[in-house]
Amino acid sequence: NAGVMQNPRHLVRRRGQEARLRCSPMKGHSHVYWYRQLPEEGLKFMVYLQKENIIDESGMPKERFSAEFPKEGPSILRIQQVVRGDSAAYFCASSPGTGDRKEAFFGQGTRLTVV
Amino acid sequence: GIQVEQSPPDLILQEGANSTLRCNFSDSVNNLQWFHQNPWGQLINLFYIPSGTKQNGRLSATTVATERYSLLYISSSQTTDSGVYFCASPNQAGTALIFGKGTTLSVSS
């Protein structure tokens, strides 16, 4: 049973370009979460999705950031017109989201560097 | 919203020593997770522990939900235990994990 898969592991973008981060949840998990970690800091929640639905996007910046989790394929976090302040590690987590066991498992992260 | 506080922020140990990391949360929770972020940045699940005590090898955790704290015990520490230890608890809506700022552990040989 493969874990949460994120790609790419490292991404370098010039200011103004677009960044697309992908996340495939664990098999059997229908709930996906995106978090951002700035250097020397903890993880900050961005968005929570289920298949084809955004459930909670309260942690996501209102502009330039969007997320989706289509019926088929991975979840995508998209950052348009990147700026240097977007440089961070972006982690995806998944959970079964049912019953009392909602343990979240994290991918290895995508480290975005904006130059 | 819920606040999660961890202590101490930093911990330096000699190999073989024991340690206790603490996590306080501001509101009643129905689950709590402990993670280890290794020096390569990978987040590893340690415990999913809403209440009670669990043990896994040299690590154990106890959550006292009524008193709003959890403890992570590391015994006979090894250099590979180095990294940042996070605790996290869901927000009231259950839609996100709220992370503490972590405890950075350095174990030297």
pLDDT one-digit tens code per residue, A63-76: 999 999 999 999 99
Q: Facing residues of A90 across strands?
A: A36, A110
Neighbours of B90 (CB within 10 A): 18
Cα(B74)–Cα(B85) distance, integer angstroms: 11
Pairing mode, strands A43-50 and A53-56: antiparallel
Closest chain B C-alpha to A24 CA, distance in angstroms: 16
User: What are the DSSP calls for A47-97, one per residue?
Assistant: EEEETTEEEE-TTS-SSSEEEE--SSS-EEEEE-S--GGG-EEEEEEEE--
Write phi, then psi, for A69 (nearest 5 degrees). Answer: -140, 85
pLDDT computed for residue A100 by the predictor? 54
What Cα–Cα distance (Å) separates residue B1 from each residue in A1, B97, B107?
35, 11, 34
Residue with tokens 């140990």: B13
Helix then strand then coil, in percent of chain B rounded to 5, is 5, 55, 40
Average pLDDT over residues A16-41: 94
B98 contacts in A (CB within 8 Å)? 45
Shortest CA distance to B28 belongs to which of B51, B62, B8? B51
Whether residue A56 and residue B96 make contact (CB cut-off 8 A), yes or no, is yes
CA distances from B50 to A60, B53, B98 (A): 27, 9, 14
> Roughly how many angstroms between the first and final C-alpha of chain A, as a whole number?
37
**Cα separation, B109 vs B79, whole angstroms:** 7
pLDDT of residue B35: 97
pLDDT classification of A101: cutoffs 50, 70, 90:
low
Q: Name which of A8-22, A38-52, B63-77 the model is least confident about.
A: A38-52
Q: Is A48 on the interface with B (CB under 8 A)?
A: yes
Which residues are B91's β-sheet partners? none
Query: What's the helix, strand, coil split of chain A in %, to 5?
Result: 5, 50, 45
Chain A / chain B CB contacts < 8 angstroms: 51
In this complex, which of B42, B93, B97 lies closest to A104 when CB atoms are compared?
A: B97
Q: How far does B12 lie from chain A, in Å, by closest CA?
A: 17
Instruction: Kindly give the confidence (pLDDT) of every residue in chain B, 109 residues in length, as a single tens digit, with 9 standing for 90 and above.
Output: 889 999 999 999 999 999 999 999 988 777 899 999 998 899 999 999 999 999 999 999 999 999 999 999 999 999 999 999 999 998 888 889 999 999 999 999 9
From B45, B86, B93, residue closest to A105, measured CB to CB = B45
Search chain A and give the residue with CA nearest B102: A42
